[in-house]
Chains A and B, each alone.
Chain A
Amino acid sequence: MSRMFSIFLFAFGAMAQIQPLPPMPADTELARSEPAGTGVIQGIVSDANSHEPLKKALVTLGGPVPSTPTAVTDASGHFVFRQLPAGGYWLSASKTGYNPPHSPFGMDSSAPITLAAGEEKKDVAIPLVPGGSISGHVVDEEGMPVRGCSITAAQPGYERGKPSLRGVSGGTGTNNKGEYRIYDLPQGRYYVFARCQEQLPAAHPLMPRGDPRTPHETYLPKFYGGGVDPSTANRLTLGAGANLDSIDFQVSRVPAFTLRGTVTGGDPGALPSSLSIMFVPANRMLRNLMGQGTATDFQKRTFQIRSVIPGAYLLVAFGMHEGHSFYAQRTVEVGAAPTEPLEISLSSGAELKGDIQFDSDDRPPLENGQVSLMLADEPLFMPQPHAEIDKDGVFTLTGVLPGRWRLMVRLPGYVKSVSLGGQPQSPDRLQIPPGAAGPLHIMMGTKMAQVDVTVTGASADHPASVLLFPEDLDRLGIGIERIAMGSDQVGFGTIPPGRYRLLATDITNAWPILQRPDLLKALEGRTQGIDVPESGRVSATVEVVGREELMRSLEGVE
């Protein structure tokens, strides 16, 4: 239930941005206006695939009504809302097994309706996309069922502009017959990953119980149709509401090791319980699927990682002490034999002094200005430094760790240019080497232009989402989304000068498209270029790309 409400609220909020609704009566007015309206909204909830009516779907109505009336559909999928005053409404429907989470681009089922006084709106259709399922079973080398395996359905996606695999299901476990079933899946392409994470005993002579050198085994995790390497895996296509059966696995046992290690560096005597160790596969595609538990002894600053199979890994240590952060990262190659204890050495971040300047004489006030660095690269967590800017435009960033960062300044204007230690850099890809020293010079640009966009092909009933993003795909992920209704112009406000592209589509949650360089490239022909000068006003027109075409392009690139 709560999920449905969040879709509803988002859409409502977005709508409020763009077009003034008929004035909504205040609550007190409504209470006084007895009887309430006489308008009616009725319709049918149906399965978007089979077009069959859906029984027992929960339908919620939002609009100028004091409570949010809900109806539960009957066997013919029917619902009726009566006694409605005139106004703008949103309908939202939900049912178990439909509208799966993680649907691409948040395909929600809400529809905006404008109701005149006493109007009867019939035949409002709400299609719900059925969730699909994947099932099968897992056996070992002898054909015996394996219990307690975690099976994940993963979808290819992008994380910070790089391809990754995102686990979509909740990691269903196999039962004692080795069977599993993953349900509530949106349509799409999937990889299925089986991980029977068990620390299994291996034959050995008398050894003290709990000794980390005790040999043990584990099952080798694998993708359906392949091995541990995702490039060998079978990619499955799941239609809306489809059921894929017999997605079976045969897993084999391999020796596994317990890795031991110590954490050095940082502040000796410091770092009480705020020491985190992460051990993940070096292959980015596997990171979301193969987390590994670590046991850390804070006093001795040692750690143990169990059931490690041969492969390449990344070991990350992170700690904080009295506001100072410490971090270390190293690769670990685990071979066929147990490795010697590891060592990882923490280092604290650099201190970067810097200043802000403006390219024109009229400087905005610097109060509440802030400089912050956001990770542009690795998904592993690192502290994100930020600093206040003083009245002279000077700031000091502390705890800056080496890596690639995106620089953000909370002040009117935009970051025109940046230099670090005399070397010019891109504000979106700030390379901070180890042992970096300042100064960090930031030049802010103050001259921007107003951008207005007209959308063609949007219908009055379906809002369109308009995206404005830099043409340079190195600046991926930056962009603005606005909602357009009908043929009205949409204002984007002041935009820094540069070359941009516009994309309009009729799905309301289009933001994730900005993260997909492959999709943006494929849709290039359907986007509209726009040059934004340093001042004045520019306008452009862009045509809506329908949902079907968008889905086809998505399928084309995957």
Chain B
Amino acid sequence: MCIGRLAVLTAWFAALGLVEAQTPPSPYAAISGVVLNDATGAPIRRAIVTLSTLDTPPLDAVTFTESNGAFGFTAIPPGKYRLHVDMEGFQHAWFGASTPKRPPGTLALAAGDVRFGITFRLRPLGSISGVVLDPDGDPVPSAQIRLLKAAYERRKPNYEQVGFAISDDLGRYRLDVVPGQYIVMAAERYQSAPVIQPEAAPRQITSEKWYAVQFYPDASRLSSAAPVKLAPGKDLEGIDFHLTTRAAAPLHGKVVLPDDVSVNSNVQISVFQQDVPNSREQLGGANAFAPNFEFEIPNLITGPYVIVATLAGAGRHYRAVERIELPPTGQSLTLHLDRAIDLTGRVDLEGAGERPSGPFRVTLISGDSPPVNDRLAAEVQADGAFTVTNVVPGIWDISVEPVLRGGYIKAMLLGDRDVLTEDMPITQNTRESLRIVVSARGAVVTGTVSVPENVLRSPRASVLLAPSGKYEHVLSFYAVAAADDGGHFEFKGITPGRYKLYAFEEMEPAAYDDPGFLKPFEKQSEAFDVAEGAHVKRQTQLILAGAQAAPEN
């Protein structure tokens, strides 16, 4: 499959004069190119180049780069393809996307096409490493180190965990990551800190000390941490931690049950660290047993926590959530369990057009932090009615499947309350019914991306359709489409309303989760209205990568 052979064959035929310097048209296409290190420009050997069709499931062809970074594919049947490159120690790259934040391009190959010079520049990964020490300067083995990246969740600033490592017996750790900006956090939650105390006697109470969570450098709260910046291909060393210790602050308490709960169930108590992002990871827990339902969690140190109590008894679920700031002297807590409710509702279908082949399914996903672990789902009956059982109090997001092609969710009402554009809070007193209207008459927005004059850039952009005005905060109204090589894009199944279009050369997938993201560009885009079932055609200008005011992450 070496590209060289095809060229040689052609040259040979031409040299012999046997063919009039014109090979018979080949039914196949061929491509070739090179893979380079973006930081040094050096060729990368043994990179894995994969050519994929756009079918489901796709067909893949694989080849490797030579020592000069060159690669090639021959005998390619005409069609549309994607091309990507992987290499250990580097970020992977897609054809047509010079950075990972741009949408991948498509290679359209016709019979006889020979495409040369496809260049990939791979960004080298970097690493962050250091050592974790205790107050005496001795290593802390098996410490948990987490890498956090700033992100948005539900339009609120937050962090997500993107890396994890454990320190070895010398307290050392190492994380290999994509270049970027991170908060590094170290904790040792499972072993108490050894404190020198050579004298001991019976009945002597040794107070255990535990390590406090630390954010680099030397911050005890996430809010006072300073991010570390990792440049491409760099090894950032010396990100060290000097952990401090604190005495355990006992947390004990009692759970109050609603009167009708059967007495021989256990209440599960879970503790989450409040200062750690999206903390789905439980720090500790206990059981509160009948009949007193008292509990004790002895090994926490001072700090902010979320305490969750859950109970499943006699077919009904219960939950209680408390946020506390645990003082050094400990705290006593009373948790009142709230009862889950059964949420009834109906789904109505409006407008002619495609009907789904099977029944609808309504799924509720917890919008709380920490979230309720279970997803609750109900199948919608033939008459449109459904009941989701055991919905514990909290914020719930609603999802309706299957998504109708070209359709949209017209309304979601909990009683009179609009829960399509606002959060749906469920309490134990919620009696209202959830009404969902699915309309087949979604709007269509199509258009082209125009490139500013005298600018040589591809109009292949990530196009964002953003609600403008009072529904700017509704995440489900945002849509992203990839414009093709001609700049054409298409959105289907759009909710009627007022919108603005933005075509970004580079955009992170959920960038609009940040409410400030669009502010610098709002004036450049004109708002327009989209009516139900309408087809709106728009032009929008490409927003160049350098134009973005925010620093590159």
Interface of A toward B, CB cutoff 8 Å: 1, 36, 55-56, 58-59, 61, 65-67, 69-75, 78-84, 96-97, 131, 133, 142, 144, 147, 175-176, 181, 183-184, 201-210, 214
Within 8 A of A (CB), among B35-73: 45-46, 48, 50-53, 57-64
Candidates B57, B141, B191, B194; contact of A72 at CB < 8 Å: B194
B1: A residues at CB distance < 8 A: 203, 205
The 0/1 profile, CB within 8 Å of A marked 1, for residues 117-147 of chain B is 0000000010100000000101001000000
Contact A142–B196 (Cβ < 8 Å): no
**In whole angstroms, how far apart are the Cα atoms of A202 and B64 in the complex?**
8
Provide 29 A-B residue pairs closer than 8 Å at the C-beta atoms, listed in order of the A residue.
A56-B136, A67-B203, A69-B201, A69-B202, A70-B200, A71-B199, A72-B198, A78-B198, A79-B199, A81-B200, A83-B202, A84-B202, A97-B141, A97-B169, A133-B169, A142-B46, A147-B88, A147-B176, A175-B176, A176-B125, A183-B168, A201-B50, A201-B62, A203-B1, A203-B62, A205-B61, A209-B52, A209-B57, A210-B57
Given A58-B194, A71-B199, A72-B195, 20 other A-B contacts at CB below 8 A? Answer: A55-B138, A67-B202, A72-B198, A80-B199, A82-B199, A83-B201, A142-B45, A144-B88, A176-B125, A176-B127, A176-B176, A181-B168, A201-B50, A203-B1, A203-B62, A205-B61, A206-B76, A206-B77, A208-B58, A214-B60
Contacts of A205 in B (CB 8 A): 1, 61, 75
- Is there contact, CB below 8 Å, between B196 and A56? yes
**Distance between Cα atoms of A214 and B199 in the complex (Å):** 67
Partner of A73, one of B174, B198, B204: B198
Report yes or no: B200 in contact with A79, Cβ–Cβ below 8 A.
yes
Decide if the interface of chain B is mainly helix, strand, loop or mixed: loop
Instruction: Report chain B residues within 8 Å CB of A209.
Output: 52, 57-60
Chain A residues whose CB sits within 8 angstroms of the CB of B61 once the complex forms = 204-207
Interface assignment of B89: CB less than 8 Å from any CB of chain A: yes
* A residues in contact with B136, CB < 8 Å: 56
Residue B292 is within 8 A (CB to CB) of chain A in the complex: no
Q: Kindly state whether residue B206 has any CB partner on chain A within 8 Å.
A: yes
Q: A142-B45, A181-B168, A207-B59 are in contact. Are A69 and B204 (CB under 8 A)?
A: yes
Task: State in angstroms the CA–CA spacing of A14 and B206 once bound together.
Answer: 29
CB distance from B312 to the nearest CB of A (A): 26
On whether the beta carbons of B169 and A96 are closer than 8 Å, the reply is yes
User: By the criterion CB–CB under 8 Å, are B200 and A71 in contact?
Assistant: yes
B198 touches A71 (CB 8 A): yes
**Interchain Cβ contacts within 8 Å, total number:** 112
Q: By CB atoms of chain B within 10 A, which of A1, A58, A66, A206 has the most?
A: A206
Task: Point out which of B60, B138, B191, B202 has the most chain A C-beta atoms below 10 A from its C-beta.
Answer: B202
Q: A72-B196, A176-B89 are in contact. Are A204 and B202 (CB under 8 A)?
A: no
The chain A residue with its CB closest to the CB of B165 is A175
Question: Is B197's CB within 8 Å of the partner chain A?
Answer: yes
**Closest beta carbon of chain A to B303's beta carbon, Å:** 23
Bound complex: CA of A59 vs CA of B197, how far in Å?
10
Expressed in whole angstroms, the Cα–Cα distance for A70 and B200 within the complex equals: 6
Q: Which residues from A are CB-within-8-Å of B196?
A: 55-56, 72-75
Known A-B contacts A97-B169, A203-B63; the reply to A61 vs B200 at CB < 8 A is yes
Q: How far is the CB of B205 from chain A (nearest CB, A)?
A: 9
**Which of B59, B169, B194 contacts A183, CB < 8 Å?**
B169
Which of A36, A75, A133, A202 sits near B62, CB closer than 8 Å?
A: A202
Please measure, in the bound complex, the distance between the C-alpha atom of A142 and the C-alpha atom of B65, giving whole angstroms: 14
**Cα A473 to Cα B59 with chains together (Å):** 61
Chain A neighbourhood of B174, CB < 8 A: 175-176
Q: List residues of chain B with CB within 8 A of the CB of A184.
A: 169
A84 to B204, CA, bound (A): 12
Which residues of chain A come closer than 8 Å to B50, judged between CB atoms? 201
7 A-B pairs closest in CB distance? A71-B200, A65-B202, A69-B200, A206-B59, A83-B201, A176-B176, A206-B61
CB-CB < 8 A to A70: which residues of B?
Answer: 200, 206
The complex places the Cα of A209 from the Cα of B51 at a distance, in Å, of 11
Residues of chain A within 8 A (CB-CB) of B59 are: 206-209
Q: Which of B64, B194, B197 contacts A203 (CB 8 A)?
A: B64
Residues of A within 8 A of B57 (CB): 208-210
Q: In the assembled complex, which residues on chain B have CB atoms less than 8 Å from the CB atom of A133?
A: 169
| A351: min CB distance to chain B, Å | 44
Contact B45 A80 (CB under 8 A): no
> CB-nearest residue of chain A relative to B192?
A1
Write the chain A residue with the least CB distance to B55: A208
Measured between beta carbons, the chain A residues less than 8 angstroms from B194 are 56, 58, 72
Give the contacts of B177-193 with A (CB-CB under 8 A): 191
Which residues of chain A come closer than 8 Å to B64, judged between CB atoms? 203
Inside 8 A of A202's CB, which chain B residues have their CB?
Answer: 62
A176: chain B residues within 8 A (beta carbon): 88-89, 125, 127, 174, 176
When chains A and B are docked, how far (Å) is the Cα of A208 from the Cα of B200? 69
Q: Which residue of A lies closest to B45 (CB)?
A: A142
Q: Chain A residues with Cβ under 8 A from B199's Cβ?
A: 71, 79-80, 82
Q: Determine how close the nearest CB of chain B comes to the CB of A510; give it in whole angstroms.
A: 29
CA distance A59 to B59 in the complex (A): 63
Scoring B1, B51, B76, B169 by chain A CB atoms within 10 A of each residue's CB, the highest score goes to: B169
Task: Please report the C-alpha to C-alpha distance between residue A195 and residue B198 in the assembled complex, in whole angstroms.
Answer: 45
- Point out which of B52, B61, B199 has the most chain A C-beta atoms below 10 A from its C-beta: B199
In the complex, the chain A residue whose C-beta lies closest to that of B60 is A209
Q: Which residues of B contact A80 (CB under 8 A)?
A: 198-200
User: 1/0 contact trace for B315-332 toward A, CB 8 Å?
Assistant: 000000000000000000
Q: Once bound together, how far apart are the Cα atoms of A62 and B136, in whole Å?
A: 29
Shortest Cβ distance from B138 into chain A, in angstroms? 7
Complex Cα gap A76–B194 (Å): 16
Q: What residues of chain B lie closer than 8 Å to A83, measured between beta carbons?
A: 201-202
**Chain B 149-179: CB-based contact to A (< 8 A → 1; otherwise 0):** 0000000000000000000110000101000
Contact B197 A207 (CB under 8 A): no
Tell me the minimal C-beta distance from A191 to chain B in angstroms.
22
Cβ A206 vs Cβ B89 within 8 A: no
Provide the residues of chain A in CB contact with B75, threshold 8 Å.
205
CA distance A207 to B127 in the complex (A): 35
Chain A residues within an 8 Å CB radius of B168:
181, 183
Residues of B within 8 A of A208 (CB): 57-59
- The digit string for B1-32, where 1 denotes a CB below 8 A from any CB of A, is 10000000000000000000000000000000
User: How far apart are the CA atoms of A243 and B141 in the complex, in Å?
Assistant: 17
Partner among B53, B127, B191, B206 whose Cβ is within 8 Å of the Cβ of A206: B53
CB distance from A124 to the nearest CB of B (A): 13
Tell me which of B1, B75, B88 has the highest count of chain A C-beta atoms within 10 A of its own C-beta.
B88
| Distance from B315 Cβ to chain A, minimum over Cβ atoms (Å) | 27
- CB <8 Å contact, A36 and B200: no
- Cα distance A69–B203 in the bound complex, in angstroms: 7
Set of chain B residues within 8 Å of A81, measured between Cβ atoms: 200-201
Which residue of chain B has its CB nearest to the CB of A58?
B194
Residues of A contacting B195 with CB < 8 Å?
Answer: 72
Q: What B residues does A181 contact at CB under 8 A? A: 168
Alpha-carbon distance A55/B497, docked complex (angstroms): 71
Contacts of A147 in B (CB 8 A): 88-89, 176
Residue of A nearest to B62 (CB): A201
> Least Cβ distance of B476 to chain A in Å?
31
> How far is the CB of B388 from the nearest CB of chain A, in Å?
30
**Contact status A96-B176, CB under 8 Å:** no
Chain B residue with the shortest CB-CB distance to A140: B46
